[in-house]
Each structure stands twice: as C-alpha cells, then as structure tokens.
Structure 1
C-alpha cells in the first residue's frame, strides 16, 4: 500500500510539473488578446487641377506615417485600375490602411489632414468611405490583387433587395472558391461616408494573393453570376485595383496625367 501511495505521489508531482510548464508557454493577459481589426479608406477621385493635387499629395506622407497608415493600392484607369462596372471609367482609386478603424478617423478628421485637404479645393471630385476590416488584412503588397465592389438597389422592393443579398452571397462564395478573401463585411451599411455623395448601400473589398488569382476569378462563372445579380439589384461600380509596395509613399489622388482614361 505504501508503494502504491508513493508511486501515485510521484505521478501527481510529474503531472503538476507538466502543467506548470504548459501554463508558462500559454499566452496570458494582453498577449492572448486579439489584435484590433484594421481600418481602411476607399477613395474614388478625378483630378481637374494637377498642380493643386501635386501640392496636396506632397503633404500627405508625414500624416500617413504619423498614424502608421499606408497605401495598399493606388492607381488610375489603365495604370493599376480597371473599371469593370459603372460610370466611373475615368476615375482613380486609392485603398489605404490604418492599424484600426479609429486610426482612419484620426487621419481624416485630424488637424493635420484638415489643413492639407484645403490644398485640393476645386481640384477634382472625390468620393471617400471608411470601412472596418473583418480581421487581419488577408493579402497586401506588390502583386496582390484587389476588387472594390460598390452596389445599391434603385428601389427598396423585395425583388431588388433579394437580388442584392444574392449578389453579395455570390460574391462571397466566388471569392472564397478562387482563393481570395473579403477584406471587410459584405453587409448593408457596413461603411461610413466621409466625403461626397454615395448612392450605394454596400462597399466591399476583396483581396487575392496575386493579380493572376484575382483575374482568374473575374473570368469565372462565379464572377459572371455575381455581376448578373448586381444588375438585377440596381446599380454598381466595380474596379479591379493592383496592390503596391508597402514603402510606396502616398502620391496624387489621380496619378493619370490627363485625368481621363487612356485610349
């Protein structure tokens, strides 16, 4: 009996040491907490005064840097941006990232940017929305492919709303099947208008690890079906935008020298 008791004590002691070791390896406190979701700005713009936009753009890098913000994608039609649906065939797109959604607000409403934004008064037309990420940015950097999808029903009838929901579901399924991920929620109203008027009720960004993967989706039956459903739902503006290197400094909102889509 004494031998059994001694053996039991030794085993219990070993188990206790093992538990201590495992506990020491497990994250505790703040280390175990999930990082906050990033925040983003989506800017669609058309430049009408290159000189003003140039002065405005030159002031942006230190403001972005002060808030750890940077571009994920930026371009003009024919130069990193391809419009697939909608009327904005002559407009550029910027997709900028901040560590948190609050960071995007801090940039946009901060005193530094409120001062600089005056430099682009009467220099173009811009539509800007802020969105919150659904988790860590799935893909970024040079070579990453993005798709910006903005949709809205013309009316609020049940058929249009159903088609809008089906279009969103089709987008989600197709993106996943093609190896991409949604950057943010595809739900209605999951964005904040910052500048300009918007007739859209959904602003969704999808990302792929490569331009080839994104373009394969765009050529797929899934993409065709999502486009068909968006047309049934109402209006849409969809742009394929190419990722840029992390170290690329913010430049003009419309890098296209002519301000119009190249022929």
Structure 2
C-alpha cells in the first residue's frame, strides 16, 4: 500500500510536469516533438520512514518548479533491488537537470524552499547532486 501511494503521488507530479496544455502564465508552449535537453547532472533522492500518501501535496507542488529550472524525473522506484551492501530506504527518485548549477538553483530557489515545507516532519531523505558523464 505504501508503494502504491508513493507511486501515485510521484506519477501525478510527473504527469503534471509533462502537461503541455497552455496556461495563462505560460510564456510559450514547448515543442514536445523535440528531444529532451542534454543531461548535465542528476539529483538522487533516497527516502524512508514516511507514511503512505503523506507526500502527495509535496509531490504535486514540484512540477512547475522542476520545469522552471529545467529538471525532469527519470526514475522512481520503491521496490529497490540492492545488488551489494545494504539499504533501508523505501524509495529512490532520480531527476535529470541541464547542469549541476541548474539542480542547485532549483534546490536553493524560493519556490522550492516553500514546497519543501510540505514534507517537513515526513520521513527522512538524503539528496545528492552528481554531474553526468559527457555525451559522446
């Protein structure tokens, strides 16, 4: 049940991020036929000790902030397959960013500082930003 609630919350957020319908605040509508921007960095979030469904409002607040800073979800998993060592995390979420600077700008933004309040006291999360390997 916990896995289903988290998947639903992040799927809602990811689908909202992919919405290409015009909004009154939109400057321009993205051309969805174009390939995604090159990936310069990844943000990896590992979470544990949260209640099912408790992240819904937080997850729903993220898509417009991700879009503003160029981020997108690339992986979300609650059925973690540990190949070596140990992990007590319940979920891993990976997002792609144009650069480490863009990922950090998202993280430090006033919009995200407000959104993160929606998950205060809900679980434990470790977040790292790593540079992507150059494409060849």
TM-score bracket, normalised by the shorter chain, equals 0.5 to 0.7
CA RMSD of the aligned region, Å? Answer: 2.2
The CA deviation string for residues 228-261 of structure 1, in whole angstroms up to 9 with x for no partner, is xxxxxxxxxxxxxxxxxxxxxxxxxxxxxxxxxx
- Per the TM alignment, residue 86 of structure 1 is displaced from its structure 2 partner at its CA by 3.0
- Is 1:107 the counterpart of 2:106? The answer is yes
Query: C-alpha separation between the residues in 1 aligned to 2:85 and 2:58?
Result: 28
Distance 1:72 1:88, change over 3 A: same
Query: C-alpha separation between the residues in 2 aligned to 1:52 and 1:119?
Result: 9
**What is the number of equivalent residue pairs in this alignment?**
100
Structure 2's unaligned 5+ residue stretches are 1-37
- The higher-RCO structure (CA 8 Å, 6+ apart) is 2
The CA deviation string for residues 24-61 of structure 1, in whole angstroms up to 9 with x for no partner, is xxxxxxxxxxxx86121111111423343111001011
Aligned 1:196-211 pairs, distance under 5 A: none
- Is 1:132 the counterpart of 2:131? The answer is yes
TM-score, normalization: structure 1? Answer: 0.35
The CA deviation string for residues 191-227 of structure 1, in whole angstroms up to 9 with x for no partner, is xxxxxxxxxxxxxxxxxxxxxxxxxxxxxxxxxxxxx
Report if aligned partners of 2:46, 2:93 keep a CA contact under 8 Å in 1: yes
- Is 1:53 the counterpart of 2:55? The answer is yes
* Residue matched to 2:78: 76
- Per the TM alignment, residue 89 of structure 1 is displaced from its structure 2 partner at its CA by 4.1
- Counterpart of 1:60 in 2: which secondary structure? helix
Aligned 1:1-263 pairs, distance under 5 A: 38-77=40-79, 81-136=80-135
Q: Which has the higher strand share?
A: 1
* Residue matched to 2:8: none
Report if aligned partners of 1:43, 1:127 keep a CA contact under 8 Å in 2: yes
Structure 1's unaligned 5+ residue stretches are 1-35, 139-263
